[in-house]
Each structure stands twice: as C-alpha cells, then as structure tokens.
Chain A
Amino acid sequence: MSYGFLATNTNNQVLVSSDTRNLHFIGKPSVNQVRNVIDTHGGCRIFAYVVSSTVPVVPFFTMPTSDMYGITAIRNVGGNTWEIEVLRSGTSAAQPEMYVFADPRAVAPSGRHGMLVYRDDGTPSFDSRLRPLAISGGLLVAHPYNPKPVLPYGLSPYNCETPADAAGGAFVPDQVNVYSGVATPAKPMFSFSSVAQAQREAAYSAFRRECDGFDVYGNCVGAEREYSWTSRYWAFYRGGIRRLGDQVHAGWVTVAYGCNWTYMKESAFLGIGTGGDSGYGGTWPYSNETLNLAASPVIIADASRYD
C-alpha cells in the first residue's frame, strides 16, 4: 500500500494495520438477568448481559467455578443494544465476569494521548486509548458425542412420576474430552461459543398382567387384563468448557428436559400427558442425536489487563 500504517512482529504477523480493525475493550457489563434456571440434571443457568455498541461485539467470560461455560447468544436487541448470553452448568450463585470487545468504532474514547490509526474510509482501525485486545493463547475443542452413554434401570414408567431430581440424576452429563497443557494467564478469560448440541431420551414401559382366574404355569385361565404405561424421559444439552488447572475440558450442560407419558389398557388409551418439565413442550425433531461436533475455537486472554 502507498498510504496508511502497518506494524508487524518479528514473524511478520500483522499487529496493527490501517487495512484491518483491532478489537478493543468496550465494557464490562454486569449480569442483567439470570434465565433458564435448572437445579436438576447437573444444573443450568444462563446469564444475560447487555452492552451498547454500534458494531457487533466479541465477548469473553471468566470461569469462577469448575462448571461448564459457553456463549449461547450474541444478539442485537434493537438499535445499539446487544445482549450476550453465557451458559453455566451447576447450581451455585457464582457468575462469570463479562469483558466485551469490539472494533474501535463501537465507543468514543477519552483522552488525547496515544496512537490512532484510520482506515481509508476514515473510520478508526486501532486506538490505543481503548485498550486493544491482546490474545494470550487458544485451542480447538471438540465435544464427546454422547453426553450420557448409559441410562440406569429404575426410572418410573408410570405417568412420568420419577421426579426431576431423580430423573435428572440419570441424565446428568458425565462425558468430557480433556485438553492438557493449556497455559493460562493469572486471570484468564475465554471466548467460546457453544455450538454443539445433543438430545438424549429413554422410553420406560411397564406391561402389567392381572389374572382373575387361575394361573397354570404362568398362563391365565380366566379373565386376564393387560395394562401398559410408557414414559419417555428426555434431556437436551449444549456444549460447554471448563478449566481445571492446566486442563480444559469440553463437556455438556443440560438446558432443557421433560417427559411424555401414555397409559393404555388392552391397547386402548386411558391417558396421555406430560410430566414436570423445564418449560419446553412438544417433541424434538432429533432423537438421540448430536449436532455440530466440529472442533470449536477457544480464545484465551488476560482479564486483568481490562480491570
């Protein structure tokens, strides 16, 4: 190029260029709302944050606990208002800290000292007054196919009567992929979008035979009735990550669950209904499926630079 600015490192990688835009820190919003509270099935919380920006935002979150975390939404809710959702497993009150970045068009800087680089359209590409994003590391993670490989004997087939805390125990996701040797700064923050999804279900049926006559070698001579019940328990999961020392784990978070039941006598319906669920109704288009398992990036940076 004949005009503009270009700064590279010793590996000839671009640090600042008037042809690109660097991400800069634009704010640290607090939790605006806690949604999707689930206290069974391994627990779930979705924390919603609101930030103002004229351009799309890139959020980073801390992980204050060893639960699974992931970004589930970045959406413009009108004008310059953006809503960010972060998913967390578990039931604690801990909330991730949110650090939001965008290109320097997002906010008006203050101060008169520093370096400002413009693009050829006159908009800023880099502004040292806004604390540019410095990446300290990253990795690609993929999630295990099956959040819960084995479901136990014992969920009730009768009208979904196994309560959520017991059924939830059966569906708690327990599979992770482990990534070791991940170096992190003193106060790491992560950018990771929860893309992987999975659904698991199990139908428990009971077939009861009652003999009013007499039994001969298990065969009923006389009046015999057969009743059947079926309860289909299900859970829907989204992918998350957690950090344990120098390991990053890719695992699952239950974000919805439910149960549907039927009751029949001699193949005639006596009842149909749903059990206690998390508020989602209907039937899933996918049954025991896992989607979007391609490796996803995890970007790591030092949150203490932006406190």
Chain B
Amino acid sequence: MFNEKELEKIKAGKQKWAEGTLAKTLSKAPEKKAFTTWSWIPVDTLYTPLDIKDMDYERDLGYPGEFPYTRGVQPNMYRGRFWTMRQYAGFGSAKETNERYRYLLSQGQTGLSVAFHLPTQAGYDSDHPLSMGEVGKVGAAIDHIGDMRILFDQIPLDKVTTSMTINAPATVLLAMYLCIAEEQGVPFDKLGGTVQNDVLKEIICRGQYIFPPKPTMRLTVDLIEYCQKYVPRWNSISISGYHIREAGATAAQEMAFTIADGIAYVQACIERGLPVDSFAPRLSFFFNAFTDVLEEVAKFRAGRRYWARMMKERFKAQNPQSMMLRYHVQTGGVTLTAQQPLNNIVRVALQTLAAVLGGCQSLHTDSFDEALCVPTQKAVTVALRTQQIVAEESGACVTVDPLGGSYYVEYLTNKIEAEIDDYIKKIDALGGTLAAIEQGYIQKEIQNSSYRFQKEIDSKERTYVGVNKYVMEEPPVTDLLKVDMKVGEEKAKELKEWRAKRDQAKWKKALDNLREVSKTDENVMPAVIEAVKANATVGEICDVWREVFGEYRPKEFIS
C-alpha cells in the first residue's frame, strides 16, 4: 500500500520524533502506564504506515459489497438504508409485550425482536414446577399458538421482520410464527426474520440447552433446511458471539469462538447433504459492541475479512452471499452499571457508534436501567433515540467504513484477525468446535479472561466510572419495571383451560406423529407445524423430544 522510499522516510522521521520531541515530553512526565485496548492488545503512542506496511489495498481491504468485505457487506451501506433498529423486548404476558412492540414500532423502530421468558427458552410450560417464579420475568410467557397470536396482534408480518431469541425449541416457535403468518394471509416466501437457533453457544455460556448435542444439531439443521426451501428470506440461524463476550471473552475471542461455532454449523449442514451455497447466504450472526470504539470497529472488520476468506478457502463457497458476515449487534449489557445509571446512556451511545462505524446490519441498544431491571418505557425510548441520533446527527453514516485507512484501526484489524486465526487453528487441532467445547477449552479461555478482568477492577488497575472511581452516594432508583408473580398464576389457569378446550384426539395424533418422525431422519418441521396447529404447547413438544433424545447434562467447567 505504500512505496519503499516513503516508508524509509517515515521510519527515519518517526525515529527522529521519538528521540527528540517525544522524548522531551516523556522526560518531564512518564506515561501513565502501559496502554492496551479494552481486550489487552498492547497499544503504542502512535501508528504510522510502518505498522501496516505489508497491507495490499485490493487484497486486504477491497471495496464494500465485494470480497473480502472488510469495509462492509453492502456497497453503499447506510447511504442506501439504515441498519434495522430492532429492540429486544418482552416481559409479562403476550398482551403486555404486544403493547410494547406496538409502542416501539410507533416510535420509529424498524424491526421486532422477541424476548421469550426462560421457561419457553428451556422448553417448559408456564405451569411446570421448574417455571415457578420465572413466568414473564425476562421475556414474554409464550406457551402455545394462542399466546403467539396475541403477541403479534395488529402487527402485519409482511411489513415487519421479526427476530426471535430462541434456541433449543426454535423449530417450535418458528412453526407458530409461520402459522400466524398463514392466518394473516402472508405467503412464506414474503416472510423475513431470524431465529437464533444457536445451541452451541448455549452450551458454552448461556445455559439454555435441552437435548444432547447430536439431536439438537439435527433440529438446528432441520430448521435451516426447511427455511431454505420454504421460507427463503428467513435467516435460519443467528450465530452468536454476544453472550460469549458477556461471559467475559475478549473482542478477538468473541469473534473467534463465534466463527468456530459457525464452522461447526456449516459442517453440519454440509454433512446433511446441503451444498454450501444453498444455505450459507442465510446464515446470520449476532455480536456485541463494547465501549472501546476503535477496538470494536477493528473486530467487526477482522471478522468480516476472516469469514469471507474462510468460507472461500475451507468450504469452497462460490456465491458471494455465502461469504458475507451479516450481523445484528447488541450493545454490551455487562458493561452497564447499577451505580449512576444515567452514565449508561453515554456508554450505549459510544457502543452504538462502534456498531455503526463497524458496519452492522441490525442493532439493539440497551436501556440505561439494564443493570436494575427489564427496560422501562422511558429507558427504552432513550435507547431507541440513541440509534436515531447516531443515524441522523453524528456523520458516521454519510460514507462507508469511515475509519478505513486509519493506521491504528487497520493495525488493530490485522492484529485481531491474526488472533482469530490462532484460535481457529487451536480449535482445529483439538478436533473441531464440538471437541473443543466438550474438553472445555473455549469455556476455560472465556473464564480466564473474565477472571483477569475482575482482578483489574478489584485492584483498580482498570478504572470503571461510578464503580471503582468517581463513586457517589445515591438515592435508590425508583419506578423500576417489575413483573408480578400474578402473571404466573394467571398463565397457569389459562393453560388449564387451553388444554381442556382443545381437540384431544387431534392433539394426541399430532404428538404421536412428532414422536415417530423424530425417531427417523425426516425433517421434523412439518410435524412440529402440525403439532402447533393441534394446540400442543412448547413444553409438551419438548417433552416428546426429551423422551426421544434425552436431556443434556453438560460437563461444567470451572477453573
């Protein structure tokens, strides 16, 4: 990218500067410490072309919308269309959540993102003993298609795309969504959205797994295969790094382990007999955005370049769409503090900037009361406005990849890409992602980073505003959103009625059919759709699978 003579001149010039101008300042006052990025990548005082001298513009950067996509997956990014503003939301009953959805859409949100309460995510109905105390707490209580109908009341599924954070039971909730679309008269090929459908990360760090790895991968691929045929605009998986980062991983680890999971999913689909270009274009991703803006931007760029090259070289993808790292971002929940919550608005603003400068396709911004409760309406409005302000007022969207060419950002991009490569090689040597997870390699790496971070906070080596520096006495926060235990009681009553009123013969037939299909190699989706239409509940369907597949008890790694 730079010619030899120029580089020589710069080398000499930098040395002169270091030994003269800089040295004079340093002799008066040494630097505060050895600086690093948030994720411990060592950072120098100054970056120049010397630090990226081996780069080749065409090979390493190229043009947005073209391989290797470093600068962006779309040719003109936000000049054509902003990212989808998609706030993850859900709490209490389907009705309350539907109200929040309609509010957010009225305030300018451009896509929906469904939060299901933990029982749904874990495959239990609201009246299961293990659901006690959990109903409606961190998401909407959705047990059956009736709840789903209420959830999407007055929401046109041909005009709104929906992302559903659901993993092990993803087939069930997708089946419900498809049925609702059918009721609204929307053909499947017009439906757009995403299901998370990523159980590997559940095993690594999120805990919402149900069945053992092999059968759960079968369900994952069944869903991908089904969508590929019948719901072509649907992103059938959202391979997630967000939670990996929340669990303590560094930026490079977040990207590396997500890509490792991606490799496992691509592998599984190929083993099913699906040609790579037939499904890879609909793989999507989900990442985090922390407060070190420049590191995050570098991370996203490194991830795009690495994925593109990997898909081409390892899996021989030919369709450009197969090589694009398209992703949703959520700002880092774990970075927000309970102390001085208004400070979180600033953090989220910086993280939004990072996500946008990094080139995301979709974004959720956290609310400032994140560390206290599920977002209040007031807080979620500020979060949405943050996106809108960055979009309209910050200048970050007027050109593509504005930080491209920054010596520091290109240096960091290269550095993170190299770290990603190291991790992938390591994981390959262990026998692949599934083996690495089974041996606890990924979990331990994450835990060690988490530990290192905590030690720095405890020792104050790392400043955290409001937590270990600039601490204040504060009055307790009021007006928090709390979900009543009544929601659980009402749902349990409702479920009793639901089960009594449905056509018992039809229901039994559907579940029996599901059981039989699950024992074979057949794609389960049609049977799931039938079961859902027969008014079977999430818990009942998952219980059939618990019977057929067993329950997973992973080895927990604690270092």
Do the two chains belong together in a single complex?
Answer: no
Chain B residues within CB distance 8 Å of chain A: none
Q: Which residues on A are within 8 Å of B, measured CB to CB?
A: none
